Chains A and B, each alone.
Chain A
Amino acid sequence: MTRILRAISLTLTLLILAQSGTACANQQGEPPIRIAISAWAGVEPAELASQLGYFDKQGVAVKLVHFSVYSDAIEALIDGKVDAGMQTLDDSIRCLAEGKDVRVVLLTDSSFGGDGLVALPEFKSMADLRGERIGVETGTVGQLSLLKILEISRMTTNDVTIVSIPTWEIQQALQNGQISAGITWEPYLTKTAEATGGNILITSREYPETIITTMTVDADVAADRADDVQKIVAAYFDAMNYIKENPQDAYMRMGQSEGISAEEFESLAAGIRYLDLTANAKLFGAQGDGHVYEQTQTIAKFLLDQKVISALPDLDQLLAPKFILKLIN
């Protein structure tokens, strides 16, 4: 009898362990996809998709994780604390260079004035900034902006003193007199200029198609949860459609998210060019031969030249057009 009881209890224990193992696995397989997001008008459609419940409609659980400091968002993706991030193409290249395999699944926008340099009122031109302290969120697209601006201004990093300051603290650093100028982006760019009475000396209008923002997904997640990623991409473009169909309501909602009015948001949006599904398809190209491939190579080479990255990473897998292509077909 004891033997029978022992056998039964053993069987019971094994069953429980097996079942609880399965239960845990299920639990881990089902959590929402965490997408890191920071303040940038270009990525607000993702916020809109979340607000309008488009992710739920597509049948995917998504959690937008808000980062006040953009570099923290990139770091979270590299550390695997989030599954995806709304980040610039150059930052995704940087992720690759740092050994984090990621996939660019869609392009949100191309900066056309949304990024720029703001200087204290006494500095009227780039030349005035020679030898001055310039604040920039190093390790991010801000650094690319600065390098491009210096290049356009025929200056080098040796001509200025670079101070690493998170973008959203640039305004305060300027006000505190820590720096003379700072690289920032909307909505901070306009706000900072207004708050300090400073001048926006140069914007991405001068270097278009350089700052391209993307939704970049952890390579493992893109492979293991491809269906979910596909749904996210679909939901994102649902939101893009909503913007086209209900621009006022969309601007109001996106403005709220950024803490500004619909009108203010509309003016911000002027500094960027949203990339809809068609534009995405065109940029990726039907055979993976679109303009964005060329652009990726160019940016990577620039980053290498500027010693932002020490070696050119393998860029073959970075762009993942299959999610866009599937939506087109």
Chain B
Amino acid sequence: MHSIKIKLTLIYGALSLAGLLLILSIFYSAATSSIYQGAVARAEVLSDEFESAVEIMAAENDIFSMQRLVEKSSLLEDVIQIIVIDTQNNILAHTDYRMIGKPLPFESSMISGALAQHKKISKTSEGRVIFVTPLHGQTYTSEYQDVIGTLWVEIDITPAITVTQRLFVTVTLAAVAISLLFFFGYYLTVKSMIIDRLRDVERGIAHHFQGSLPAAIMIKKSFGDEDEINTLAQTFNYLITSLQDSQKKLKAERDFALLVMESMREGLTITNADDRFEYVNPAYASFLGLSPHQIIGLSPKDVTHPEDISKNSEEKELRKSGKSSSYELRLLASDGTEVNVLISSVPRYQDRKFAGSIAVITNISQRARLEQMKSDFINRASHELRTPLTTAILMAELLESGSATEKQQFLTTLKRQLNRQRLLLNDLLVAGRIENKRFEVHLSPTDTLPIIEESISSLKLQADARQINIKLNAAESLPLVNTDSQSLIQVLLNLLSNAIKFSNLGGNILMTAGEEGQYIQIAVKDFGIGIPAQDLPHIATRFYRSKNATQMEIQGTGIGLYIVSEIMQSLGGRMEIDSVENEGTTVTIYLPTIPDGNQKALT
């Protein structure tokens, strides 16, 4: 930036100064030569004035008058000397009278030339002009007047030359000084008119790109509305404005794309040509139990199950050859669990070159588990429904024959099987309602103790069949609760039925009921197989069955605790499970008491 103004100033300064000096030197030589010409002319005039007078005086031999004339003329400022010489080169008159009669102390070709050629001769040298005039006598020959001598007039022009020299030195100095001033001004003008404003423009652009004020680049009006720099600034303004607009648009589009990608439930990955993750969305990261920034830079094979790495490589080659595909793969999460995914991957290109791939990843681990649980449930439910029915049909056939005692026994069994089936069907009904969001409860102030006792007696047959003793340990009276008695009975039947199912033969079940703060607490405790710790968090999930229950082939649909949990929520209470594998399980439910219900039911 600095160099422009200095360069401009130097170039124009040097050129102009050189031009100026050239012009001055031309003027100087012109002035000098005109001084010489003027001096020659003056010498000629002086000589002309002298010529006739000296000729007459010479004719009359009046040396005295001639000398006085010469002396007086010599008083003129610029006359160096005036000499009258005869043809023998003797001095007739001289500025210094003491030279009279002496021979001319120097030789000059001008004198001989003037004598020989009968003509006036002038010569300029070393600041002086010499003018030699031939003098003629008063007698005439046939051709010309006789020559009697010469007149030598010498004029000094050094003062004029000196004045001229000084003048030109002064003018040159003044010119140089003025040029310097002028170019200093030029420098300042270039600086203020061009450089400073260019810098303003530059600064405006810099400000813009540093992200400070949306820069409207300064347009100076001081030198007219429309000049190149103002136009430039306007162009930059326009450029920056459109840049800002397109940046906003781009950002909006990017934000939108990002929003979509970040909020997708499917995983999304973008890899580069070196097969490294350039982008992964949070969903994908969550499959692996990591955060996106931990994954970016890794290779897909770093998170692939070792057994599937070769498959991963095959797919990579497919992308390189420009093919898209969908495939299932097992990923390895950070905690070591494998994650089943469905990957839909397409190659991507940049500047027509392979640049990696874009993949949408669906986590099919949960879906697969759900599918499994559903089909297990159907199998189990069918089995659960068919078994009592088969038993019931058998009992009904047996009732046609057999003794009265036997008949009584068959009838009990039949009843038990039908109860069991009713319970199951109720559960399925409720589960269906819950699923369809059509489950409703009808709350009314209820005494819970009769319901507890009813539930125990309802399952007496089942408990007896496994020689299990159910012991109730309840407070003498309990506050009323605002609840749905049918739903509550279904809850208690499920809990007791589970406890019977998972107790060992001949075991005990302890049932307690009491008041706990604003709640009535009812707990069913068994000392059976318990629930493994890893299953405990999922145990209330629909269709979920604990590992040990499945292994021991204990019958069940996997919806019992799910229904209990859902119903308890609907009743405004809650369910807690406390279980240790092989030691037993305690399921406790809490029902809120009626706030002003101090009234206690009689036992």
Contacts and interface: CB of A to CB of B under 8 A. Distances in A.
B4 interface: no
A68 interface: yes
A292 B23 CA distance: 63
Interface string B172-198: 001100100010000000000000000
A65 B175 CA distance: 42
B171 A19 contact: yes
Nearest to A76: B75
B352 interface: no
Interface string B95-108: 11110100000000
A156 interface: no
Given A72-B68, A72-B72, A23 B170 contact: yes
Contact of A15 (B64, B67, B170): B170
B166 A19 contact: yes
A258 B68 CA distance: 18
Contacts of B171: 12, 15-16, 19
Contacts of A258: 98
Nearest to B159: A27
B132 to A, nearest CB: 22
A82 interface: yes
Contacts of A169: 64
A68 B67 contact: yes
B160 to A, nearest CB: 9
A166 B64 contact: yes
Contact of A65 (B74, B100, B167): B74
A66 B98 CA distance: 8
Interface size class of A (residues with CB under 8 A): 20 to 34
Interface in A40-88: 65-69, 72, 76, 81-82
Given A72-B68, A166-B64, A24 B163 contact: yes
A15 B174 CA distance: 7
Contacts of B163: 20, 23-24, 27
Nearest to B167: A20
A172 B175 CA distance: 65
Nearest to B158: A27
B162 interface: yes
B167 A11 contact: no
Nearest to A256: B98
A295 interface: no
A51 to B, nearest CB: 12
B315 interface: no
B97 A66 contact: yes
A137 to B, nearest CB: 12
Contacts of B71: 66-69, 72
A12 B75 contact: no
Interface in A116-165: none
B97 A68 contact: yes
Looking at chain A's contact residues, the main secondary structure is helix
Interface string A4-32: 00001001100110011001101100010
A257 interface: yes
Contact of B178 (A8, A20, A24, A27): A8
A237 interface: no
A81 B73 CA distance: 11
A27 B159 CA distance: 7
A195 to B, nearest CB: 15
Contacts of A66: 71, 95-98
A12 B166 CA distance: 15
B128 to A, nearest CB: 15
Given A12-B175, A16-B174, A23 B97 contact: no
Nearest to B101: A259
Contacts of A23: 162-163, 166-167, 170
Interface in B77-105: 95-98, 100
A81 B98 contact: no
A168 interface: yes
Contacts of B75: 65, 76, 81-82
A27 B64 contact: no
A82 B74 CA distance: 11
A168 B182 contact: no
Contacts of A39: 98
Nearest to A258: B98
Contact of A11 (B95, B159, B170, B178): B178
Contacts of B95: 66
A132 B4 CA distance: 100
A16 B169 CA distance: 10
Nearest to A28: B159
A23 B167 CA distance: 7
A16 B178 contact: no
B121 to A, nearest CB: 27
A68 B167 contact: no
B182 A8 contact: yes
A72 B68 CA distance: 8
A27 B162 contact: yes
A217 B162 CA distance: 28
Contacts of A257: 98
Contact of B170 (A16, A27, A172): A16
A190 to B, nearest CB: 17
A20 B172 CA distance: 12
A65 B96 CA distance: 8
Contact of B167 (A19, A72, A166, A259): A19
B78 to A, nearest CB: 11
B332 to A, nearest CB: 82
A35 to B, nearest CB: 13
Given A19-B170, A23-B163, A68 B182 contact: no
Given A19-B170, A20-B163, A27-B162, A69 B68 contact: yes
A39 B96 CA distance: 11
Nearest to A16: B171
Interface in A156-201: 166, 168-169, 172
B96 A20 contact: no
Contact of A19 (B72, B74, B159, B174): B174
Contacts of B68: 68-69, 72
Contacts of B159: 27, 31
Nearest to A14: B174
Contacts of A24: 163
A12 B174 contact: yes
Interface in B109-164: 159, 162-163
A166 B71 CA distance: 14
A312 to B, nearest CB: 31
A168 B167 contact: no
Contacts of B74: 65
Nearest to B175: A12
Contacts of A12: 171, 174-175, 178
B227 to A, nearest CB: 15
A247 B47 CA distance: 43
B154 to A, nearest CB: 15
9 contacts: A16-B174, A23-B167, A68-B64, A69-B64, A72-B68, A76-B75, A169-B64, A258-B98, A259-B98
Q: Which 7 A-B pairs have the closest CB atoms?
A: A68-B97, A19-B170, A23-B166, A15-B174, A81-B75, A66-B96, A20-B167
Given A16-B171, A20-B167, A68-B97, 10 more contacts: A8-B178, A15-B171, A16-B167, A16-B170, A19-B166, A19-B167, A23-B170, A67-B71, A68-B71, A259-B98
